[in-house]
Amino acid sequence: MIDVYQIIDAIKPLDKAKGQEAEAYINTLTKPLQSLGEIERLAVQLAEMTGEVKPDVSPPGVIVFAADHGIAEEGISAYPQEVTGQMVRNFLAGGAAINVFTKRVNGLLEIVDAGVKADIPGVRTEKIGYGTKNFAAEPAMSRKDALRSIQMGMRLAEETIERGAKLLIPGEMGIGNTTSSSAISAALTGIKPEDLTGRGTGIDSKQISFKSEIIRRALELHRPNPNDPLDVLSKVGGFEIGAMAGAMLFAAYRRIPVLLDGFICTTAALLAAHLTEHAKDYMIAGHLSVEPGHLLILDRLGKKPLVSMGLRLGEGTGAALVFPFVQAASDMVKNMATFDSAGVSKEHI
């Protein structure tokens, strides 16, 4: 059984020396200095993360954790809770956006039932419970279950890495999980719920105000300790959010880069970073979601998103879409010629 705290304590800081070595090598490639901009910076980051000047990032491992949320009982979503299970069946049938985008990048896809209210034949079942409790009235889960969710995410990441994944894309599905994410983020950062709360599945402005008020009251009721991430997760979190945090932590332990998706995924990243500051060193922000809380949390993590495309689907889709940029950074250092090997003069470059 994985020891969560042993893994957390074993996460190492970035290999800055290897990053400098990579930067020096990149400067010998047949192009003007820094002419590939963000791709060059990504290549240096990858070297620091992996400890290799020419790291592989393919295939990416995509793990979609699905779970239900008791807070959905408050009517904070445009969709009924049954949609979580229905979407898991869609994932299994290959009909969702993440199926299409994972296939496009030749990724390894795993769909995991972390806590869906329904039992779904054919899915990888790692159910912590049949949905969380309604945190408007009681804690979402026990502290024990919060730890179990993180531990489960670590185990799934380990399996995915053993299958050959060189980069991790955590994804999620769960009606109500933007509400949980806003509550977690507010608890950990002190940012007001109304500044973090967005449309989620497509609610209107009146419903957004209602959603923010539910979160505010829940935080007053439970008073989660911002210095204790497990306390925050147990009081207002979700099983899939804990699992994503665990997967990110294990990836960092194995020096595997993590490509972040949208607001919910980045909330899990914030949770992981509060468990150990070194976790965020292994994260790359894929894109900027239209959810208002996303940029605020990326700023807290010190991350700059690669692109902004108006996405808010989740599932890991945004990260899968921008993976080719990360692949390009790896390919650049692995496959471009140097001035010397190509016989190109660099005197005027």
**How many residues does the structure list for the chain?**
349
Question: Pick the catalytic residue: 110, 220, 315, 347?
Answer: 315
C-alpha distances (whole Å) from 5 to each of 55, 116, 187, 295, 341 are: 28, 27, 22, 29, 47
User: Is 315 an annotated catalytic residue?
Assistant: yes
Side chain identity at residue 212, one-letter code: S
How far apart CA 348 and CA 213 sit, in angstroms, is 62
Whose CA is closest to 98, among 195, 28, 172?
A: 172
Establish whether the linkage from the previous residue to 59 is cis, with ω within 30° of 0.
yes
* 282, 298 Cβ separation under 8 angstroms: no
3-state secondary structure of 29: strand
* 156, 168 Cβ separation under 8 angstroms: no
Q: Which residues are tagged catalytic?
A: 315
